[in-house]
Amino acid sequence: MELKPYQQKVIQDISLFLEFLQREKNIENAFQAFWFNHPETPLMPLGGTAVEPYKNNIPNVPNICVKVPTAGGKTFIACNSLKPIFDSFDSCQFKAVVWLVPSITILEQTVKNLKNPDHPYRQKLNSHFGNRVEILEKDALLQGCGFNPTAVRENLIIMVLSFDSLRARDPDSRKIFQENGYLISFSELLGHEKDISLGEVLRFLNPVVIVDESHRATGELSIEMLTRLNPSFILDLTATPRENSNIICFVDSLELKKENMVKLPVVVYNCQNKAE
């Protein structure tokens, strides 16, 4: 499966922002330069720009948002975005991704599709990363199953987690941030052998973070959750961006209609007259 034209435009916009980020060496300046040079920059009357300044939600971490309507293929866009993102980094950067989702249902569906070698998502990842791709859930990470220094050096590691599993006040998150003997293999990378936790390893890997349905991760706990990951880059995907979003691409619903991707609504109502 190839990108639809509007999806290709999203990837081009992400790549353009990354180019400005490499050139400017400053997130705020890169965001401003991106919109100043973008052919679709919305302009106010009298020539002023309607684009708001960059919001530094996570200090010193690029955090951009793509607005894509429901059924617009956000997951496929995310899969295609990883190559240009990692290509913009230094070659020594670990290819680690924390993929955050808002619910267990979405988590299970995302993991199922990313693991399936016949699914377009996994096929695109395999194509971009030379078939060296591992998809891991929380339990596998906590037990060190397929998660070790060799794996993170040689593969693209996508760790699919729920928002709640990382929020500090959730009891389940304690497992991620408590000492874990299964992860002792990371002691050489970390430079010590005591109190190694999954949370510490994630911070060390400096992961790219994909936030699915990012409008559901904007509160104080969510900002704390993202900060604790020590991300190198954050890509928000949502149909309804919040006020603190740094939007770099808008996909209009009409674009989905052109590609026959709009789902027809089903209206259910009670008929009082059997003849109706």
- CA gap 206, 218 in Å, rounded: 21
- CA gap 82, 95 in Å, rounded: 9
List residues bridging with 63 in a β-sheet.
234
Going from the C-alpha of 7 to that of each of 79, 110, 136, 211, the distances in angstroms are 11, 19, 26, 17
Amino acid identity, residue 136?
L
Q: How high is the pLDDT of residue 276?
A: 39
SS3 185: helix
Q: How high is the pLDDT of residue 135?
A: 98
Task: Name the one residue in this structure whose structure tokens are 């954050």.
Answer: 234
Q: How high is the pLDDT of residue 24?
A: 94
Amino acid identity, residue 149?
P
Q: How high is the pLDDT of residue 264?
A: 43
Question: What digits encode the pLDDT tens for the residues 209-237?
Answer: 999 988 877 777 788 889 999 999 999 99
8 Å CB contact between 17 and 31: yes
Positions in the chain short of pLDDT 70: 41-50, 168-173, 253-276
Amino acid identity, residue 194?
K
The answer for 240, left when phi > 0, alpha when psi is -120 to 50, beta otherwise, is beta
- CA gap 271, 175 in Å, rounded: 53
